[in-house]
């Protein structure tokens, strides 16, 4: 069975700083996808970034980037130049390629402080 | 705005009752997924439909059922409701027409169900 672990329940950083959110996963699959979703106070689930396991290059979306270490089964999210609007719950998620069921971690609550 | 719509936004009902949650996927998306987010269980996958047929099942209770209609909208039916069913229910969609079903899932705004 697949599992996703986010070891940081809550984090706080100052605005404009860089923050890294950790995520590890466990799977015997070779072909899968990893995601970071953001859930702001509005409760909407917003896709932040996606990584295909077969790609060695780390995904980047503007201020958001990942450090994907396949052998270590690690998938951390780096937020650069953090903004107040980044305050949210962040979920790491895993999806194996042969079905579309997403497994979510418990989430990391991130506070960006002014 | 993800393009996925869910109605109603809020629902308050009593134990033992039955409710129906509705989801309209993004234009062209063939897959619809249902998730439950509760304080104790976190975000859990319930069920997926692809082009009208059930494709994958997660931790969905027997009291819950879903279907996807020919126009691709989906409904999640929850019956014999219990206090523990209070949660935020999300619908997500993926898979533009002709594309692979394994694609990014875009979430709707959710329906908050409160069972009293």
pLDDT mean across residues, chain A: 93
Mutate to test the interface with A, among B102, B106, B112 (most CBs of A within 10 A): B102
Residue A95: C-alpha distances to residues B19, B45, B105 (Å): 29, 11, 10
Contact B102 A97 (CB under 8 A): yes
Six token digits for residue A34:
């990893």
Is the per-residue pLDDT at B74 higher than 70? Answer: yes
Q: Is the pLDDT of residue B77 over 80?
A: yes
Mind listing the pLDDT tens digit for each residue in A36-74? 999 998 888 999 999 999 888 999 999 999 999 999 999
Contact residues on chain B for A95, CB-CB shorter than 8 A? 102
d(CA B106, CA A108): 20
- On whether any CB of chain B is under 8 Å from the CB of A47, the answer is yes
B55 CB neighbours in chain A (<8 A) are 99-100
- Name the phi and psi angles at A113, rounded to 5: -100, 135
Within 10 Å of residue B86's Cβ, how many Cβ atoms?
Answer: 17
- Whether B100 has a pLDDT exceeding 80, the answer reads no
Q: Which residues contact B79 (CB under 8 A, 6 or more apart)?
A: B18, B63, B64, B65
Chain B residue numbers touching A35 (CB-CB < 8 A): 104
Q: How far apart are alpha carbons B79 and B71 in whole angstroms?
A: 24
pLDDT confidence band for B102 (50 / 70 / 90):
low
């Amino acid at each position: 069975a697949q599992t996703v672990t986010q070891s940081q329940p809550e984090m706080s950083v100052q605005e404009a700083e860089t923050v890294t959110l950790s995520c590890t996963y466990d799977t015997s699959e070779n072909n899968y996808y990893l995601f970071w979703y953001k859930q702001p106070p509005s409760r909407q689930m917003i896709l932040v970034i996606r990584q295909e396991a077969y790609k060695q290059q780390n995904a980047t979306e503007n201020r958001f980037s990942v450090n994907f270490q396949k052998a270590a089964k690690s998938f951390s999210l780096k937020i650069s130049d953090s903004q107040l609007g980044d305050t949210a719950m962040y979920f790491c998620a895993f999806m194996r390629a042969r079905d579309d069921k997403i497994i979510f971690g418990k989430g990391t609550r991130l506070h960006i402080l002014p | 705005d993800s393009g996925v719509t869910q109605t109603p936004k809020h629902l308050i009902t009593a134990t033992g009752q039955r409710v129906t949650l509705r989801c309209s996927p993004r234009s062209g998306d063939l897959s619809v997924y249902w998730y439950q987010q509760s304080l104790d269980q976190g975000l859990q996958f319930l069920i997926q439909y692809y082009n009208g047929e059930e494709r994958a099942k997660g931790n969905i209770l027997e009291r819950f059922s879903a279907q996807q209609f020919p126009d691709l909208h989906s409904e999640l039916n929850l019956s014999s409701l219990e206090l523990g069913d209070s949660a935020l229910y999300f619908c997500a969609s993926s898979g533009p027409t002709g594309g692979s079903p394994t694609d990014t899932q875009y979430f709707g705004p959710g329906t908050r169900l409160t069972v009293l």
